[in-house]
Chain A
Amino acid sequence: MSEAIIKTENLTRTFGNFIAVDNITFDVKPGEIFGFLGANGAGKTTAMKMLTGLLKPSSGKALVSGKDVYTETEGIKKSIGYMSQKFSLYDDLTVDENIRFYGGIYGIPHAELSHKVSRVVDSVGLNEVRKKLVASLPLGWKQKLAFSISILHNPAIVFLDEPTGGVDPITRRQFWESIYEASNNGITVFVTTHYMDEAEYCDRVSIMVDGKIEALDTPDGLRQTYSTQSIEEVFITLARSAKRGGT
């Protein structure tokens, strides 16, 4: 059994009297595709910010890729990739320039970078448009590019925040193939999503309600425990028990 790549113990964050994240304890295994679900306001974003080194916890412990979320946040940022649906590409830079820019930020040596740029544009099939501005690309292409860039520096973990909202079903499936490929190459994938059917693509899924993790299992395990056909039904059952406003 390999060591957990994300390990939290009673991780908590409060804002004044409000307990945004309430004593969460869970492990994510290396190479796993981990789905992180929760209703609006359940505490997902706060938890993600702590795990990516952007927000200090109030109490509890967490190690991300072996690094402490209190003291080693710079180290965490180097060992993770991040992609959000509201993305992170520069519209007024070309495909090539975007890759080079992020490569530079992550400190990829110049000699290596040209080779990486070619490899990325090949893998996402963007060779013909590499000198075009990102603004001119269809949404699905931008998302593929954003994902490739988020794993450019070969991180241990990539965080995907609602990665496939609004794209057509084929592009969405091509995107999941890239995710499976990354996972196959040993990158751990941590996904938050509103698409409940998307949770079914994950190896394991956690569901947050009112700051706590109320369920954590494989999609199959969750369906069996709650005797339902879909993760959506499990989610609705749990989220309806929420006390605090969100819905």
Chain B
Amino acid sequence: MPIVQINQLYKTFGNIEALTGIDIRIEEGELFGFIGPDGAGKTTLFRTLTSLLVPDSGSVSVLGLDVVRDYKKIRPLLGYMPGRFSLYQDLSVEENMRFFASVFGTTIEENYELVRPIYHQLEPFKKRLAGNLSGGMKQKLALSCALIHKPELLLLDEPSTGVDAVSRKELWEMLGVLKEGGMSIIVSTPYMDEAKLCDRIALMQDGQILQVDTPARIVSSFGRPLLGVKSASKYKLIRSLKQYPHVYSVHPFGEYTHYTDRRDHPDPESLKAYLRNCGLDDITIKEIQPDIEDSFVELLTKEKAYV
């Protein structure tokens, strides 16, 4: 049985089309990621999956239950961590935990083993008000509260937005532990580099899913030789590359600017000669492996005519 099955899901708010024909099937035990920028429809999708929003049309089933008809049965089975911090700021760490446990008819003690790896880091501060915690600790508390009733499916909407790299790394390590324990996890993120930590990902933009696959297969579908070009004069380099007669795409990617050619076999030597003619003498060119971000950029380029 799939853990999530969505067919032709549509949702609009006034004249904003938030979701336009979403189809997806997510299997039990997967760590599945929805990757996309702000406004892609990730949060609307999460609110639909958690039965908080009713679809305009289409069907959505979670754990074999219909999100509209069976919402009362679904809710106790889900652990949901919304994007915005939604705990009680004026309750302590421990009070928040007890509150969420009691709402779901359980106790901290009953499911302590499940939350222990995260919660034990918070226990020294258990009398502190949630509002006075740092960003990383708030995130750990929110995750503990979402897990305390031992849900069958964990949904995390942008858990890593606004937290620093160390907290992000710890969060993903924790998700790995939960997955090993057999939990199904659905997560959303605007960070492309987190995509590779998921079993499968859906790339989203403008209320649509552009591609669904494993990170490795998404990368291998890139389909063009990719060159990294480096110069200290980055602006001049980008301008010059865009004027190269064989250019297909030019995107700054940090130290190296990523370049693809309209031909099947780009010629680094003649490109280098061309750039030297443009006055760029410090050029390094190397062939590089595309990553998820290259693939996403390419999909977006096909999708909309970005100039």
Enumerate chain A interface residues (CB-CB to B < 8 A): 38-41, 125, 138-140, 165-171, 173-174, 176-177, 180-181, 183-184, 194-198, 200-201, 219-220, 232, 235-236, 239-240, 245-247
Contact = CB atoms under 8 A, between A and B. Distances in A.
Given A194-B164, A235-B165, 8 more contacts: A38-B164, A39-B166, A40-B136, A170-B300, A170-B301, A196-B165, A200-B255, A239-B165
Given A184-B236, A197-B254, A220-B255, A171 B164 contact: no
Nearest to A235: B165
A167 B167 contact: no
Interface in B84-104: none
B13 interface: no
Contacts of B192: 169
B164 A125 contact: no
Nearest to B237: A180
Interface of B: 36-40, 134-137, 161-167, 169-170, 190-193, 205, 233-236, 238, 251-255, 293, 296-297, 300-301, 306-307
Contacts of B169: 236
A32 to B, nearest CB: 11
Contacts of A174: 306
A246 B297 contact: no
A166 B165 contact: no
A170 B216 CA distance: 21
Contact of B252 (A125, A140, A180): A180
Contacts of B236: 184
B238 A246 contact: no
B235 A180 contact: yes
Contacts of A173: 251-253, 297
A181 B163 contact: no
B39 A247 contact: no
24 contacts: A38-B164, A40-B164, A40-B167, A166-B37, A166-B38, A167-B37, A167-B38, A169-B300, A173-B252, A177-B235, A180-B252, A184-B233, A194-B163, A201-B252, A201-B255, A220-B255, A235-B166, A236-B165, A239-B166, A245-B134, A246-B134, A247-B134, A247-B136, A247-B164
Contacts of A200: 253-255
A195 B160 CA distance: 11
